[in-house]
């Protein structure tokens, strides 16, 4: 997708600056004139939405850190101080808390879009892997952030999750215990633990920014995938990113911002847990310990395995398996729009993710446990069995010859495309947007 730069400095100062540090040229070439497939739908706008979410989390997080006290005796009260005494503190806190949920909502849609349209296939494997790394950093950052209010659910979530490393004792005696004590900074969750989690929670977002820059760089080498999975073959099949997709992204972001604002102003606590408004008490265990909603599918996988060690392996494996997707999918067709068998398995996978999210919030007993194990089995089967086998046996439906044909459709006349029909004087099919 790289080509000769079209940027022309308009003033002497711009020319002087461009010769020494061509930042404006790079931004112009990569975010203004960057050739983008003309048939991208609204599922592609979630990349821009994720950039917005990351910016919101950084800004609100930095402001909150100015007033937060990472001390087990003061942390809970410092949150109340932010909510009641700091100017607009309630808005910063609610925006940051709801923003985490909106961030994960957008990233799950972004991942599912990639799985549906085959955005992980060559030459975009590195792009996909960097995306998985961002996802793992997000999970770590969100977990550490959830601990900071130091309420009942925060404290016990930290206790339960960090104790999982103790399962490594089954591999090497003493290894798990040593890791747990190192994470805790002692023999129990306490002040050193909170300090470490706060420090890392502040650091990781800047690591995410670094990997996001690599992710964008890796995207701009091969260029965007598109709903057909067909590469750009002619200049007319692409549009400059600005103004066409900046306007489209802005509209999608506006709709998303309305949803975001609706939660912040009208239901800021609906995505959280009431027990987190009770100060942490090591002597009182909540009746049912659950993580935030965006961790529930992985929590359900953890609890579905009887063995603690294998449960931990399954939980981490459910994320790490995403790295292997470019090589597990054996189909030569990218987009599921032309894969009739895979499409059904994909939507079953979406239902599986939602079901695991529900089961993760339920007690691990009775039918909840049975269904949890069944859906966990399908989760891994989708990647390890369905993707390799379906790609070999499936017969794809007929694909368009180009992006132009996909956008304009075939003419009813003798010419092969609607554009050809228009050129010969025959009426062209209406453009599909």
What does the DSSP assignment read for 163-225? HGGGGGGGTSTTHHHHHHHHHHTSSSSSHHHHHHHHHHHHHHHHHHHHHHHHHHHHHHTT---
Position 418 confidence tier, pLDDT thresholds 50, 70, 90 = very low
Nearest by Cα to 230 from 420, 390, 396? 396
Upstream peptide bond of 243 is cis (omega within 30 degrees of 0) = yes
Question: What pLDDT score does 39 carry?
Answer: 94
Each residue's pLDDT tens digit, 230-277: 999 888 999 999 999 999 999 999 999 999 999 999 999 999 899 999
Question: What pLDDT score does 423 carry?
Answer: 35
Q: Which of 124-133, 269-278, 399-408 has maximum average pLDDT?
A: 124-133
In the structure encoding, which two tokens stand for residue 67, read together?
């007033």
What does the DSSP assignment read for 267-311? -TTTTS-GGGGSB--TT---SS----GGGHHHHHHHHHSSSHHHH
Angle at 141 between CA 286 and CA 63, to 5 degrees: 100
Task: Write down the pTM of the prediction.
Answer: 0.92
Q: Report which of residues 424 and 173 the model is more confident about.
A: 173
Average pLDDT over residues 121-128: 96
Question: What pLDDT score does 302 carry?
Answer: 96
Average pLDDT over residues 190-207: 97
What are the boundaries of each domain within the chain? Answer: 18-289, 302-399, 401-433
Each residue's pLDDT tens digit, 284-330: 999 888 999 999 999 999 999 999 999 999 999 999 999 999 999 99
Question: What pLDDT score does 425 carry?
Answer: 35
Each residue's pLDDT tens digit, 23-70: 999 888 888 889 999 999 999 999 999 999 999 999 999 999 999 999
Q: How much of the chain, in percent, has pLDDT values that exceed 90?
A: 84
If phi over 0 gives left and psi between -120 and 50 gives alpha, with beta otherwise, what is residue 3? beta
Q: Are strands 35-37 and 238-240 parallel, antiparallel or unpaired?
A: antiparallel
In the structure encoding, which two tokens stand for residue 427, read together?
């009426």
Question: What pLDDT score does 420 carry?
Answer: 37
Each residue's pLDDT tens digit, 131-186: 999 999 999 999 999 999 999 999 999 999 999 999 999 999 999 999 999 999 99
pLDDT over threshold 60, residue 207: yes
In the structure encoding, which two tokens stand for residue 2, read together?
């790289």
Q: How far is CA 430 from CA 361, 407, 412, 417, 426, in A?
A: 48, 9, 12, 12, 12
Question: What pLDDT score does 29 carry?
Answer: 87
Each residue's pLDDT tens digit, 377-398: 999 999 999 999 999 999 999 9
CA separation for the pair 428, 101 (Å, rounded): 45
Question: What pLDDT score does 358 carry?
Answer: 97
Q: State the CATH architecture for 18-289.
A: Up-down Bundle (1.20)
Position 3 confidence tier, pLDDT thresholds 50, 70, 90 = low
pLDDT over threshold 50, residue 417: no
pLDDT over threshold 90, residue 191: yes
Contact 230, 406 (CB under 8 A): yes
Position 419 confidence tier, pLDDT thresholds 50, 70, 90 = very low
| Backbone dihedral angles phi then psi of residue 425, each to the nearest 5 degrees | 100, -10
280 contact partners, CB below 8 Å, separation of at least 6: 72, 76, 150, 151, 152, 154, 155, 156
Question: What pLDDT score does 408 carry?
Answer: 83
Average pLDDT over residues 392-421: 70
Buried b (16+ CB within 10 A) or exposed e, 157-176: bbbbbbebbbbbbeeeeeeb
Nearest by Cα to 270 from 297, 293, 299? 293
């Amino acid at each position: 997708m790289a080509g000769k730069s079209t940027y022309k400095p308009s003033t002497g100062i711009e020319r002087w600056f461009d010769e020494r540090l061509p930042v404006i040229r790079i931004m112009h070439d990569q975010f203004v004139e960057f050739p983008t497939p003309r048939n991208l739908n609204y599922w592609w706008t979630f990349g821009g939405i994720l950039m917005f979410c990351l910016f919101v989390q950084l800004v609100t997080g930095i402001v909150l850190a100015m007033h937060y006290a990472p001390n087990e005796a003061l942390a809970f009260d410092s949150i109340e101080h932010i909510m009641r005494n700091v100017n607009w503190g309630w808005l910063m806190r609610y925006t940051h808390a709801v923003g985490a949920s909106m961030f994960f909502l957008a990233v799950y849609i972004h991942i599912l879009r990639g799985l549906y349209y085959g955005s992980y296939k060559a030459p975009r494997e590195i792009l996909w892997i960097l995306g998985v790394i961002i996802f793992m950093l997000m999970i770590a950052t969100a977990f550490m952030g959830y601990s900071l209010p130091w309420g009942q659910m925060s404290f016990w979530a930290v206790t339960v999750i960090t104790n999982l490393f103790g399962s490594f004792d089954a591999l090497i005696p003493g290894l798990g215990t040593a890791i747990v004590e190192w994470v805790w900074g002692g023999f129990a969750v306490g002040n050193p633990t909170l300090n470490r989690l706060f420090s890392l929670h502040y650091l990781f977002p800047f690591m995410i920014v670094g990997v996001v820059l690599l992710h964008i760089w890796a995207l701009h080498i091969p260029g965007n995938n598109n709903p057909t999975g067909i590469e750009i073959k002619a200049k007319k099949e692409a549009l400059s990113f600005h103004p066409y997709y900046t306007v489209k992204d802005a509209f999608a972001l506006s709709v998303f911002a309305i949803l975001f604002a609706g939660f912040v102003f009208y239901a800021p606590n609906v995505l959280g847990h009431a027990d987190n408004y009770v100060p942490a008490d090591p002597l009182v265990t909540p009746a049912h310990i659950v993580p935030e909603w965006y961790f529930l599918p992985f929590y359900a996988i953890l609890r579905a395995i009887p063995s603690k060690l294998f449960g931990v392996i399954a939980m981490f494996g459910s994320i790490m398996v995403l790295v292997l997707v470019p090589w597990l999918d054996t189909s030569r067709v990218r987009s599921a729009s032309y894969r009739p068998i895979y499409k059904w398995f994909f939507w079953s996978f979406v239902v599986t993710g939602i079901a695991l999210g529900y089961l993760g919030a339920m007690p691990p007993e009775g039918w909840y446990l049975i269904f949890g194990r069944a859906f966990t089995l399908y989760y891994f089967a989708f990647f390890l069995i369905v993707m390799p086998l379906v790609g070999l046996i499936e017969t794809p439906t007929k694909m368009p010859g180009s992006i132009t044909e996909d956008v304009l459709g075939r003419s009813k006349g003798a010419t092969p495309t609607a554009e050809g029909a228009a050129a010969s004087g025959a009426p062209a099919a209406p453009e599909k947007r």
